[in-house]
Amino acid sequence: MLDLSLHEIAQAVGGKLLMSPSFTPPVISSLATDSRTVHRGENSLFVALKGPVYNAHNYIPELIKKGIRAFLVSEEPKPSIDAAFIWVNDTTLALQKLAAHNRKQFSYPVIGITGSNGKTIVKEWLHDLLSDGHKIVRSPKSYNSQVGVPLSVLLMDDHFDLAIFEAGISQPGEMQHLAPVISPEIGILTNIGDAHQEFFSSLEEKLQEKLVLFTGAKKLVCRIDEDWIYTQAADFCKENKIEPIFWSIENQHTDLNFSLKKNTRQTEISGNYQGRSFSFAIPFVNDSAIENACHCAAALLALQQNPADFRETFSQLQPVAMRLELKQGINNCTIINDFYNSDLNSLSIALSVLKQQAVSAQQKKVLILSDILQTGLSKKELYSKVNSLLEEWEIDQLIGIGAEISKHRNCFSVKTTLFSDYKEFEAGFNRQAFQSSAILIKGARRFRFERISGLLQQKAHQTVLEISVNALVHNLNIFRKRLRPETKIMVMVKAFSYGSGDIEVARVLQHQNVDYLAVAVADEGVRLRNAGISVPVIVMNPEQDSFQNMIDFGLEPNIYSIELLRNFAQNVSAAGIQSFAAHLKIDTGMNRLGFKSSEEISEACEFLKNSDALKIKSVFSHLAGSDEAALDNFTQSQFEKFDRAFDQISSALPYHIDRHILNSAGIERFPQKQYEMVRLGIGLYGVSLTGLPVQNMGTLKSTVSQIKTAGSDETVGYNRKGKLDSESRIAIVPIGYADGMNRKLGNRNGVAFIKGQRVPIVGNICMDMLMLDVTGTSAEVGDTVEFFGPHIPITELAEKIGTIPYEILTGISQRVKRIYLQE
């Protein structure tokens, strides 16, 4: 982004500049949109975005204290002598206008990519292919939304000579806002699929919406193996005078066609473009990778490059990790893997995650960084900028790996250790040197930092449970949208956050400003407090032996009986504390914990009026059948009992008390009863009763250890239960019932997903492994196997074995490594 004055920005976005006559306006060189990632901001413009569940305007006073001096707002600002405001109708649209203004300042080529799948991979592979000859600016990670696109385009400056941006949409009408922001010279349409289809009447409508991005382009790369895509894309190109770079694998009569030759490890791709032949190989055999590589080859032709000149780079293409990985490390460390690209923009984003993680976990901040390649800056200027980022994010230690970064030790003011290459780092590796630290591993793909991650991670079991942080936040917001803005939300993180990892999930929820967390027993709450979680925590099953811990760590009890009330109050009084927060549980029909009769409630209220030890923060109950329409009459009776009980309590106690009764199913089916707070449980983890657009949050996966052939007269596994009808290929996978795979899934009842298809589990599931029938697939040793996730819904598993998703999630063994993925 070019340095701009506030007057220039106001003019570009059509806003009104408001500031005190005595205020000296800063020159703006960067933007921020998340108040939680802002640390220094003398030359930053904070864009106060508004959405269905958030309003960044609420954080402006706090940001002024942090040093932010300029704000783009859509609410009338309060006068301030310490800040300037640009007032617009819509801050998101203003951000897009500012990015479009920045885009117009540069004449170098811009490639715009859209489609249902493959956008980020095509972008990253194009970067890898072209980076030796170009200085490229590109979208960080998957920045392709209504906010992500303008933030990406604002990275353009005169250091670059090529730009590659991706654009994603989820609803009609969105692309018209992004098209002038990117304004691509060359367009790439990756494909059209079912992603976000719920907002479109047909795939044809979605295609027309995506084509809007390319209205002013000169060339369009598009696969035309489907007739309807060819027809619409051809008409679009003709209407807008765009040169089509259409390609096909199946139709040999196009201007650009490809033929394939696969073996077990790679695909040889031969192409013919207007009579010119070329070929290259990629180290992949799956259809999506082949399609992405063909798009890249077509884009090279659109740039008047010969794909044959890139044979070596094509052969070295690697999988692209589009999300950060968070793992448990050795010696109370947290590992943040982001070792698939390395540039200043993605480094800044990753450092903000490192800062957040370290602060919440009370850990030191360590960065392991490779050489940064192809930035357009001199090496001294580059590493001086890196040092500025390290100072801004208060990094405690830098470990640099690479010849170039090692030459520029004098650029760094933080504690620095440098190695010329990975082998030197490995030779000097000392496990004890890494203690209670959040460690960001950030490197260009060619540095292969996977091995460094392997040295630092705590568990090496090949079976992992991947947790999508983005899906967790998405699901939280889906339920928030069903609530009034003032309704508080309590999230259940008991039972290791339903098997997903209590501390890590709690950190995300704290970052998302939830109002309460709920645990089952005090030990779970103590664990959260020791990890730096400061959100109020309610203990659902307080026990006598845990009272002191609850008092010491500020954990709020669920008071469900008069005996518990008296005993806990006595302990609080003995500690010399008054008005300790507590919650009253009412039994309205579950016949589990809780005060049931009016007499019990009266006794509790009388005790509370005569004691200053406790102050009741909320009264709540638990619905027995909110997920079953057949029990709605009973549910209504529970609401009525709850209302009567609350009226009795609120009239007896002289202060405000919140109410909550809705669980996840209740939020979906009875939003009129949300009261002052709700409790979100299984909905957060991707299970919806009514078909809300929640996302899969967890993926249980492992890898193939061995493949063998078994004859039709042989059996598989214990007790010879795995009977074979014909000669079969059997894959052995290191996951068993000790990891959480229910034995009822054995003997072809359960399935796994491998190499693009489902395969049955054969034989009895063992303690530490199971067997799959992979006959007819190209499965190999080392291949990834999914047991639930995007291809096998956890609800399907639950139905197969006659249980509920809760049991499956909470049953995943602690020995299974949890990996947290964050875009």
The CA R_g of the chain, rounded to the nearest whole Å, is 29
Residue 574: band (very low, low, confident or very high) from pLDDT cuts 50, 70, 90: very high
Q: Is the pLDDT of residue 371 over 80?
A: yes
The candidate with the shortest Cα–Cα distance to 188, out of 166, 203, 172, 209, is: 166
Q: For residue 459, is pLDDT > 70?
A: no
Q: Is the dihedral of CA 663, 664, 669, 671 positive or negative?
A: positive
592 is in an annotated binding site: yes
Q: Give the pLDDT score at 747.
A: 95
Residue type, 780: E
pLDDT tens by residue, 534-570? 999 999 999 999 999 999 999 999 999 999 999 999 9
Contact 130, 141 (CB under 8 A): no
In angstroms, the CA 521 to CA 413 distance is 46
pLDDT band for position 495 (cuts 50, 70, 90): confident
Classify residue 450 by burial, with Cβ atoms within 10 Å: 0-12, 13-18, 19+. middle
Judging by DSSP bridges, how do beta strands 415-419 and 464-468 pair with one another? unpaired
In the numeric block, the tokens 């604002």 are attached to 154
Q: Beta strands 614-621 and 580-586: pairing type?
A: parallel
Spell 716-732 as b/e; 16+ CB within 10 A means b. Answer: bbeeeebebeeebbbbb
From 82, 97, 138, select the one nearest 4 (Cα to Cα). Answer: 97
Q: What is the DSSP letter of 310?
A: G
Distance CA 418, CA 415 (A): 10
pLDDT at 534: 92
Out of 261, 415, 609, 718, pick the active-site residue.
718
**pLDDT, tens digit, 9 for 90 and up, residues 689-740:** 898 999 988 999 999 999 999 999 899 999 999 999 899 999 999 999 999 9
Between CA 540 and CA 584 the distance in angstroms is: 10
Q: Which residues contact 284 (CB under 8 A, 6 or more apart)?
A: 266, 267, 290, 293, 317
**Mean pLDDT calculated for residue range 324-340:** 84
In this structure, what are the phi and psi dihedrals at residue 374, rounded to the nearest 5 degrees?
Answer: 45, 70
**CA-closest candidate to residue 493, choices 480, 510, 470:** 510
DSSP state of 275: T
The average pLDDT across 404-431 equals 91
- Specify whether 718 is catalytic: yes
The reported pLDDT for the residue numbered 94 is 97
What pLDDT sits at residue 321? 65
Q: What's residue 341's pLDDT?
A: 65
For residues 671 and 589, give the distance between their C-alpha atoms in angstroms, rounded to a whole number: 20
User: Could you give the CA distance from residue 823 to residue 467 in angstroms, rounded to a whole number?
Assistant: 12
Q: What whole-number distance in Å separates Cα of residue 269 and Cα of residue 280?
A: 5
CB 365 within 8 A of CB 437: yes
According to DSSP, the β-strands at 70-73 and 44-47 are parallel
Predicted local confidence at residue 353, as pLDDT: 83
Catalytic residue, chosen from 494, 596, 617, 701, is 494
Lowest mean pLDDT among 91-105, 281-295, 341-355, 751-765: 341-355
How much is the pLDDT for 460? Answer: 66
- pLDDT bin (cut points 50, 70, 90) of residue 821 is confident
Query: Can you read off the two tokens belonging to residue 628?
Result: 């079953």
Which range has the worst mean pLDDT, 10-24, 111-125, 339-353, 490-504?
339-353
Q: Is the pLDDT of residue 525 over 80?
A: yes
pLDDT band at 345 (very low <50, low <70, confident <90, very high): confident
pLDDT of residue 374: 62
Cβ atoms of residues 649 and 619 within 8 Å: yes
Any idea which fold 698-822 has?
A: Lyase, Ornithine Decarboxylase; Chain A, domain 1 (2.40.37)
Cβ 115 vs Cβ 189: under 8 Å: yes
Task: Please choose, from the candidates 657, 666, 583, 659, the residue with its C-alpha nearest in 3D space to the C-alpha of residue 623.
Answer: 666
Between 669 and 448, name the one with better pLDDT: 669
Instruction: Look up residue 278 and give its two tokens.
Output: 């070329």
List of residues 6+ apart from 271 with CB closer than 8 A = 256, 257, 258, 259, 277, 278, 279, 294, 297, 307
Per DSSP, helices labelled H in 23-90 are 60-66
Rounded to 10 degrees, the C-alpha dihedral 464/468/471/476 comes to: 90
Q: What values do phi and psi take at 298, rounded to 5?
A: -65, -40
669 marked among binding-site residues: no
Residue of 417, 420, 386 whose CA lies nearest to 403: 420
Tell me the three state secondary structure of residue 97.
Answer: helix
Question: What pLDDT is attached to residue 674?
Answer: 97
CB 6 within 8 A of CB 70: yes
Q: Which residue has the tokens 């619905």?
A: 623
Of 249-258, 589-598, 603-612, which gets the smallest average pLDDT? Answer: 249-258
Q: Check residue 375 and give its pLDDT.
A: 64
- The CB-side HSE value for 574 (13 A sphere, CA atoms) comes to 10
Closest among 35, 18, 153, 142 to 86, alpha carbons compared = 18
- Other Cβ atoms within 10 Å of 62 Cβ, number: 11
Q: What is the pLDDT of residue 1?
A: 65
- How many angstroms separate the most distant Cα atoms in the chain? 94
CATH homologous superfamily for the domain 6-92 = MurE/MurF, N-terminal domain (3.40.1390.10)
Task: Write out the H or E segment, with its range, that includes residue 810.
Answer: helix 805-810
CA atoms within 13 A on the CB side of 609: 12
pLDDT at 253 over 80: no
Residue 547 makes CB contacts below 8 A (sequence gap 6+) with 567, 568, 571
Neighbours of 231 (CB within 10 A): 12
Is 494 among the catalytic positions?
yes
pLDDT at 340: 63
Predicted local confidence at residue 193, as pLDDT = 84
CA distances from residue 493 to 144, 332, 465, 506 in whole angstroms, order as listed: 31, 21, 17, 7
Q: Closest by alpha carbon to 641, among 616, 663, 614, 659?
A: 659
Q: For residue 760, give both structure tokens.
A: 């049955």
The whole-angstrom separation of Cα 69 and Cα 672 is 42
CATH of the domain spanning 324-458: 3.90.190.20
Q: Pull the structure tokens for residue 470.
A: 């983005």
pLDDT above 70 (res 749) = yes
pTM of the predicted structure, to 2 decimals:
0.73
The arithmetic mean of pLDDT across residues 342-355, rounded, is: 80
Mean pLDDT over the full length of the chain: 91
Q: Quick check: 264 pLDDT over 90?
A: no
Is 80 exceeded by the pLDDT of residue 53?
no
Instruction: Give 307-314's long-range contacts (Cβ < 8 A, gap of 24+).
Output: 307/271, 307/278, 307/280, 308/278, 308/279, 308/280, 310/129, 310/280, 311/279, 311/280, 311/281, 313/128, 313/129, 313/132, 314/129, 314/280, 314/281, 314/282
CATH architecture of 106-315: 3-Layer(aba) Sandwich (3.40)
- Please report the sign of the dihedral spanned by the C-alpha atoms of residue 417, residue 421, residue 425, residue 428: negative
pLDDT digits (tens, 9 = 90+) for 94-110: 999 999 999 999 999 99
- In whole angstroms, what is the distance from residue 747 CA to residue 763 CA? 5
Q: Are strands 267-273 and 276-282 parallel, antiparallel or unpaired?
A: antiparallel
Closest CA to 98 of 194, 212, 12: 12
3-state SS assignment for residue 482: coil
pLDDT reported for residue 306: 93
Q: Tell me the three state secondary structure of residue 7.
A: helix
Q: Where are the domains of the chain?
A: 6-92, 106-315, 324-458, 469-685, 698-822
Q: What is the pLDDT of residues 621-661, one digit of tens each?
A: 999 999 999 999 999 999 999 999 999 999 999 999 999 99
CA distances from 414 to 405, 410, 411, 424, 441 (A): 14, 10, 9, 21, 17
Position 369 pLDDT exceeds 90: yes
Residue whose entry in the numeric block shows the structure tokens 């806990």: 568
Residue 482 confidence class, pLDDT cut points 50, 70, 90: very high
**Highest CATH level, class, for 469-685:** alpha beta
Site of tokens 């602060």: 359
Task: Return the residue matching tokens 């050489």.
Answer: 371
Element containing residue 566 per DSSP (H, E): helix 562-574
Among 44, 17, 21, which residue's Cα sits nearest to residue 154? 44
Count of helices and strands (H, E) across the chain:
26, 39
Q: Which residues contact 405 (CB under 8 A, 6 or more apart)?
A: 369, 370, 371, 372, 383, 418
Mean pLDDT of 186-207: 87
Higher pLDDT residue, 111 or 372?
Answer: 111
> In one letter, which amino acid is 156?
M
Kindly report the length of the chain: 823
CB within 8 Å of 74: residues ≥ 6 apart = 48, 50, 57, 87, 88, 89, 90, 91, 94
Q: How far apart are CA 28 and CA 25, in angstroms?
A: 9
Strands 70-73 and 84-87, by their bridges, are parallel
Q: How far is 245 from 189, CA to CA, in rounded Å?
A: 11
